[in-house]
């Protein structure tokens, strides 16, 4: 039997796959029997058979675009296209077998089959059209995988409770916030406006409560469902953003977008309610809000972008979807370009002739040139074999260290604009951007940037470890005891402020600096805490909940430091004594550098430095210099 060979596409064309129905004369079973009769036993048997056609993308026939994850590229299965064999990943073969209709042919666009993956030129052209391919499809079907780990029960739960949440308008008004409703259910159930709403809340609380014997089962099923590889695949963001309508398929179950959207928010907000309730009973060693029972971050971010009118700046998309995966490392950037508002102006477009390191460097350089210095917040120490400059994030490695600032949408703005929160301004109001050298013989350019040298790192504390609340605070306190600050009556308050990088947890669309009120509250609760004791006896007070939430967020992947002049703060966990603290003009936060070859510096990462976050040193007479970063 022959293997399938692609025919060349005309410039305005795409391919469509037409799946034969199970009950037609072209059924898989019949075709497989006829076409494989007389085949040797070593030739493959197939469950899926289809034909392929070339159609105009301008006036295509009705078709469904498939959104799925390729799965393990080493696990292959054969299917038939026009009677010829082609091998696809097992996950795609299973999807096609499940989606094969009973009695009517369906037309599909599937990236792995409709793009010749071995032709880089075609791949570049077709990927550049994917926003049109998905937006012109009748609908998009997402394949989440076959039924497993009680996924049927999860799909039923999403359909039922997501639909009810939508019906009741949960979260649409302050009085309908889930947290407020659940508190009313516990304390004043008579105040709830509807008996039906009360029953709904009681069922949610029962299903997801730790007091319920079945809680572990449904929570585990939900957790496994949202751990599926589909939710981590970067291409699905573009596929769903451009879709007219979306349905989510898992095994034989299907749910629409609206129930899923509302079910996700139920899960996220109930998790916050459960943490609030248990805060007084839990020890600091047991309490880590960074590990929710059901991680809804990725699907919520996908649907948030899909449901927002307008396109987002590329920096926002890169930061939001930095936890996502891609088979081809270039796709961590390319998959975002079709719905990035500023990508065309920066001249960024998919080009599979470029190696991934060139793609990463070019993208970072253009973002820096356009004033988005916070792209450096994603930089971490590179593997020596990576070959990337220190100023280029390696997007193939997921950094779980949270940036010091978050990017938030400005509500009601068209086009969509974003701001960094909390509002730091280490370089004052200056907006200088770095200058890049010319690339020579394929080498990466170096960066020249005007900066002010602050000081040399002389001591570092222990990198954050889970269950290390006292140790974290103790290290910062000890590192703050320099001659210049030891006599300051507010020194301990500076320690508490530094421990959370002078910020509070996000509330709605705001990520504020640590308020005086919350600082005083933390000081009242922490000042008499014996930091020399072991962690195990630290009972977390309810009043400290948000403070410790924020501390965990900012501490992960960082360590405290101090400098020879007495500045202290937080930097990357891989910083060392002898590293250098600079403020680059145009950057909102200071950065840690390390001396390298030929008087060039290597970026270690961003830093929080107490007393330096509002530009107070930029107007001093201390000279600035041009630093070279490699």
DSSP string, 404-453: SSEEEE-TT-SS--EEEES---TTTT-----EEPPP-TTPPPPEEEEEEE
- Whether residue 608 has pLDDT greater than 90: yes
Question: Which range, 291-295, 327-331, 476-480, has the best average confidence (pLDDT)?
Answer: 327-331
- Whether residue 563 has pLDDT greater than 50: yes
Alpha-carbon torsion, ordered 493, 464, 293, 95, to 10 deg: 130
Dist. CA 403–CA 316, nearest whole Å: 12
106-110, 486-490, 584-588: which has the minimum mean pLDDT? 486-490
Q: What is the distance in angstroms between the CA of the first residue and the CA of the last residue of the chain?
A: 55
- Whether residue 280 has pLDDT greater than 50: no
Q: Which of 614, 572, 610 is nearest to 593 (CA)?
A: 572
Mean pLDDT of 127-137: 94
**Contact by Cβ (8 Å): 586, 430:** yes
Share of the chain above pLDDT 90, in %: 62
pLDDT in tens, 449-485: 999 999 999 999 999 987 778 888 889 988 888 655 5
Average pLDDT, the chain: 87
Beta bridge partners of 582: 453, 591
For residue 102 the two structure tokens come to 């009973």
pLDDT for the residue numbered 439: 74
- Whether residue 619 has pLDDT greater than 70: yes
For residue 601 the two structure tokens come to 């510096």
- Whether residue 321 has pLDDT greater than 90: yes
Mean pLDDT of 389-395: 95
pLDDT for the residue numbered 292: 63
- Whether residue 316 has pLDDT greater than 90: yes
pLDDT for the residue numbered 345: 96
If one counts every other C-beta atom within 10 angstroms of the C-beta of residue 569, the result is 27
Share of the chain above pLDDT 70, in %: 88
**Contact by Cβ (8 Å): 293, 219:** yes
Q: Regarding predicted confidence, which is higher, 457 or 620?
A: 457
Q: Which of 270, 275, 265, 268 is nearest to 205 (CA)?
A: 270
**Contact by Cβ (8 Å): 294, 223:** yes
Mean pLDDT of 533-558: 74
pLDDT for the residue numbered 359: 96
Degrees (nearest 5) of the Cα angle 419, 424, 428?
Answer: 105
Beta bridge partners of 66: 141
- Whether residue 140 has pLDDT greater than 80: yes
If one counts every other C-beta atom within 10 angstroms of the C-beta of residue 487, the result is 7
Mean pLDDT of 218-238: 93
Pairing outcome for strands 591-595 and 580-584: antiparallel
**Sequence-separated (6 or more) residues with CB below 8 Å from residue 620:** none
pLDDT in tens, 254-271: 999 999 999 999 998 888
pLDDT in tens, 411-452: 777 778 899 999 999 999 888 889 998 876 678 888 999 999
pLDDT for the residue numbered 465: 86
- Whether residue 1 has pLDDT greater than 80: no
For residue 308 the two structure tokens come to 């927002």
pLDDT for the residue numbered 176: 86
DSSP 284: G
Q: Is 502 helix (H, G, I), strand (E, B) or coil?
A: coil
- Whether residue 288 has pLDDT greater than 60: no
Mean pLDDT of 505-529: 87
110-124, 133-147, 294-308, 462-476: which has the minimum mean pLDDT? 462-476
**Contact by Cβ (8 Å): 560, 475:** yes
Dist. CA 269–CA 260, nearest whole Å: 14
For residue 348 the two structure tokens come to 């960024």
pLDDT for the residue numbered 438: 81
pLDDT for the residue numbered 291: 55
Pairing outcome for strands 64-67 and 106-109: parallel
Question: Which range, 204-213, 268-277, 327-336, 526-535, has the best average confidence (pLDDT)?
Answer: 327-336
Mean pLDDT of 98-120: 93
pLDDT for the residue numbered 175: 84
pLDDT for the residue numbered 138: 97
164-168, 236-240, 282-286: which has the minimum mean pLDDT? 282-286
72-76, 179-183, 346-350, 579-583: which has the minimum mean pLDDT? 179-183
């Amino acid at each position: 039997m022959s293997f399938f060979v692609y025919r060349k596409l005309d410039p305005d064309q795409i391919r469509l796959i037409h799946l034969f129905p199970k009950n037609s004369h072209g059924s898989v079973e019949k075709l497989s029997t006829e076409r494989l009769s007389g085949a040797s036993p070593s030739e493959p048997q197939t469950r899926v058979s289809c034909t392929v056609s070339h159609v105009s993308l301008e006036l295509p026939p009705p078709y469904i675009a498939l959104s799925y994850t390729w799965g393990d590229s080493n696990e292959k299965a054969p299917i038939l296209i026009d009677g010829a064999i082609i091998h696809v990943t097992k996950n795609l073969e299973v999807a096609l077998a499940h989606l094969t209709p009973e009695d009517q042919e369906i037309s599909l666009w599937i990236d792995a089959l409709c793009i010749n993956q071995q032709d880089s030129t075609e791949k570049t052209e077709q990927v550049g059209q994917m926003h049109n391919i998905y937006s012109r499809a009748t609908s998009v079907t997402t394949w989440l995988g076959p039924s497993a780990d009680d996924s049927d029960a999860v799909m039923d739960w999403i359909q039922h409770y997501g639909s009810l949440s939508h019906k009741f308008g949960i979260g649409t008004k302050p009085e309908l916030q889930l947290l407020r409703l659940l508190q009313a259910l516990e304390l004043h159930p008579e105040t709830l406006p509807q008996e039906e709403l009360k029953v709904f809340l009681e069922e949610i609380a029962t299903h997801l409560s730790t007091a319920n014997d079945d809680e572990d089962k449904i929570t585990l099923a939900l957790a496994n469902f949202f751990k599926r590889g589909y939710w981590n695949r970067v291409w699905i963001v573009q596929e769903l953003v451009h879709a007219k309508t979306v349905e989510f398929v898992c095994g034989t179950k299907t749910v629409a977008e609206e129930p899923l959207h509302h079910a996700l928010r139920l899960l996220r907000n109930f998790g916050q309610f459960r943490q609030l309730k248990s805060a007084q009973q839990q020890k600091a060693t047991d309490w880590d809000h960074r590990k929710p029972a059901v991680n809804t971050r990725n699907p919520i971010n996908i649907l948030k972008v899909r449901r927002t009118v307008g396109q987002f700046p590329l920096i926002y998309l890169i930061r939001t979807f930095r936890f996502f995966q891609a088979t081809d490392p270039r796709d961590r950037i390319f998959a975002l370009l079709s719905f990035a508002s500023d990508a065309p102006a920066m001249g960024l477009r998919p080009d599979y002739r470029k190696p991934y390191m060139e793609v990463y460097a070019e993208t970072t350089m253009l973002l820096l040139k356009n004033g988005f210095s916070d792209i450096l917040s994603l930089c971490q120490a590179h593997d020596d074999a990576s070959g990337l400059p220190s100023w280029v994030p390696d997007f193939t490695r997921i950094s779980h260290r949270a940036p010091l600032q978050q990017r938030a949408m400005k509500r009601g703005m068209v086009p969509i604009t974003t701001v960094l929160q909390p509002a730091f301004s280490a370089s004052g109001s200056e907006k200088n951007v770095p200058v890049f050298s010319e690339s020579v013989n394929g080498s990466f350019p170096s960066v020249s940037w005007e900066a002010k040298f602050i000081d040399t790192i002389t001591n570092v504390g222990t990198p954050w470890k889970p269950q290390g609340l006292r140790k974290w605070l103790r290290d910062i306190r000890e590192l703050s005891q320099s001659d210049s600050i030891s006599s300051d009556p507010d020194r301990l308050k500076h320690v508490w402020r530094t421990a959370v990088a002078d910020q509070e947890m996000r509330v709605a669309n705001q990520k504020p600096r640590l308020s005086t009120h919350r600082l005083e509250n933390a000081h009242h609760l922490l000042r008499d805490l014996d930091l020399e004791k072991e962690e195990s006896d630290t009972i977390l007070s309810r009043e400290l909940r948000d403070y410790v939430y924020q501390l965990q967020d900012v501490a992960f992947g960082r360590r405290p430091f101090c400098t020879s002049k007495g500045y202290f703060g937080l930097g990357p966990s891989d910083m060392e004594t002898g590293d250098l603290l600079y403020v680059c003009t145009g950057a909102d936060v200071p950065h840690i550098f390390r001396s390298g070859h030929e008087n060039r510096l290597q970026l270690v990462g961003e830093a929080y430095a107490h007393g330096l976050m509002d530009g107070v040193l930029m107007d001093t007479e201390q000279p600035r210099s041009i630093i070279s970063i490699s």
